[in-house]
Structure 1
Amino acid sequence: MINPRYEACVQACTRCAEACEHCATACLREDDVTMMARCIQLDRDCADLCRLCATLMVRDSEQAAALCRVCAEACRACASECAGHEHEHCQTCARACTACAEECARMAA
């Protein structure tokens, strides 16, 4: 059972990882993939950090808060990049990243 303190953050991290993976895959299908390179890189980093963050919270790890601080930074960077692209998958990802950054910052506080 997940510690109730972490539940909202675990859910936000899971949703964010899924949105980032979807965004990265969709970016690879865009006509100008080179223009999407930074977006893809940040999507992949953010997705990996979100999954690890969720895993540490489920474990009730003493490292969860520290990683949540890092994850919040990665989510903010990814949200900023994605928000600059008009593609719907990028806009969806930006919203998920922003929500995750807020949850991770709250959990780490």
Structure 2
Amino acid sequence: MTRIQYQECIDACLKCMDACNYSYVSSLKEYNLADLRESIQLDRECADICSFAVQAMTRRSPFVVEILRLCAEICDRCADASSRHEHTHCQDCIDACRNAAAACRLVSEAVEVYA
């Protein structure tokens, strides 16, 4: 596990957190809130777990592998929910979530090998 891989994952999680927070706020301004309910909920969950994953990585938590796996799963679910909508903020969220999920999986696998 290199410091660069950790930093890339941290950066991806921070970008995802920002995209999810923006999508969350933007979705609340849309007229079709009922249709966006699942995306709104997952935007919050995803932003929160990305923030927690960054904290776990920076403090070298002994649970970092499990946290990153959960983060990847939630990021994937958030991207799937956002893909049902054509709003620009949803589309931006998809890319950020997919990148964060891939980075979390890469780091969690690498950390597990070195453990």
Tell me if TM exceeds 0.5.
Answer: yes
Following TM superposition, by how much is the alpha carbon of 1:4 offset from its aligned partner in structure 2, in angstroms? 3.5
| Residue equivalent to 1:95 | 95
Q: Does 1:47 align with 2:47?
A: yes
| Residue equivalent to 2:38 | 38
The higher radius of gyration belongs to 2
What amino acid maps onto 2:53 in structure 1?
C
What amino acid maps onto 1:54 in structure 2?
V
Q: Quick check: which one's helix share is greater?
A: 2
Give me the TM-score of the superposition, normalised by structure 1.
0.95
Following TM superposition, by how much is the alpha carbon of 1:5 offset from its aligned partner in structure 2, in angstroms? 3.8
Following TM superposition, by how much is the alpha carbon of 1:72 offset from its aligned partner in structure 2, in angstroms? 0.2
| Residue equivalent to 1:13 | 13
Structure 2 CA distance for aligned equivalents of residues 65 and 11 of structure 1: 17
Give me the TM-score of the superposition, normalised by structure 2.
0.90
Percent identity, aligned pairs only? 36
| Structure 1 spans left out of the alignment, 5+ residues | none
Number of aligned residues: 107
| Residue equivalent to 1:86 | 86
Q: CA offsets per residue over residues 54-90 of structure 1, 9 Å max, x none?
A: 0110111111111000000000000011111000000
| Structure 2 spans left out of the alignment, 5+ residues | 110-115
Instruction: Give the secondary structure class of the aligned counterpart of 1:6.
Output: helix
Structure 2 CA distance for aligned equivalents of residues 67 and 105 of structure 1: 10
| Residue equivalent to 2:72 | 72
- Provide runs of 4+ in structure 1 moved above 6 Å: none
Q: 1:5 to 1:61 in 2, by over 3 A?
A: farther
Following TM superposition, by how much is the alpha carbon of 1:34 offset from its aligned partner in structure 2, in angstroms? 1.1
